[in-house]
Amino acid sequence: MHTNESLKMSASTTLIDVQSLATHLDDCVVVDCRNDLFDRSRGRVLFEEAHIPGAAFLSTDDDLASPKGDGRRGRHPLPDRAALREKLETLGLSSGRQLVVYDADNGSFAARLWWLARWLGHAEVAVLDGGFRAWVAAGFPVEQGKGLTTRQAGSLREQAAIGEPVAVDEIVASLGQAAMLIVDARAGERYRGEVEPLDPVAGHIPGAANRPFVQNVRPDGRFKPAEVLRAEFESLLAGRRPESVVHQCGSGVTACQQLLAMEYAGLSGSRVYAGSWSEWCQDPARPVATGH
């Protein structure tokens, strides 16, 4: 839904504004996804300091990813599907019930759970536009502590995924072909290979275009208007269909925010390469490009 519409529980599938969430807070399952890539404990610390009333906390590293093992699947491998479904049920989520996810502001971490919920087939999931910063700025109440320790369990029926993730073999097979447009959501300096603070190799997948995910939001962390995003993405697509787009980033997290922006703009059908650069660069046989 667009953020200027009244909340309809069955239709909140991209963004939700803070006023709509405040009005219907008791009808939603709310999850705090704040995170720091350089400090795994930071998100939980921030949650315990202050969070939206009734929210639960899920960690990008511990809850929304599998152990990375030898790293060949990247820094944030997909979680076990059944385990994720059970975890969300424990938080009270049932099929048809609205899930709202938030992070500090720009959706770069919350969108990971938004995308994973869709992977489970749960369509009623939305990212809080502007995140916790917008909630506080609007003067809505917060609470402290570890959140609710007991909840009435929900029931999520098994459903087909709303967009399956792209595997590395599909990326390899697409190299040099126009049928797939890979969009790299990382900062320009990482894409160009000038710096690499997280992964062992710098650069990008050959042929990938660069659109840093921060271009999707305004200075206050709220997403740009849908019509603005649509025009910007259509310029990037240059006549290609949205279904041809595969988003990637460092480890499959901020790429989800890019997909969310396209969905909000009405350009549905793009996908995410879950392993992203952190998986791609593990195999020296895979080509690496630098520069523009």
Catalytically active residues are 249
- Closest CA relative to residue 109, chosen from 167, 177, 185: 185
| C-alpha–C-alpha distance, residues 148 and 144, integer Å | 11
Count CB atoms within 10 A of the CB of residue 198.
Answer: 14
**In this structure, what token pair is assigned to residue 92?**
């009270």
**In this structure, what token pair is assigned to residue 206?**
């050959």
Task: Calculate the alpha carbon distances from 212 to 16, 184, 215, 282 in Å.
Answer: 22, 7, 6, 22
Helix axes 110-119, 81-90, angle to 10 degrees: 110
Burial of 186 (0-12, 13-18, 19+ CB in 10 A): buried
| C-alpha–C-alpha distance, residues 152 and 176, integer Å | 51
| C-alpha–C-alpha distance, residues 40 and 74, integer Å | 16
| C-alpha–C-alpha distance, residues 274 and 64, integer Å | 12
Give the list of residues 6+ apart from residue 42 with CB closer than 8 angstroms, or none: 34, 35, 36
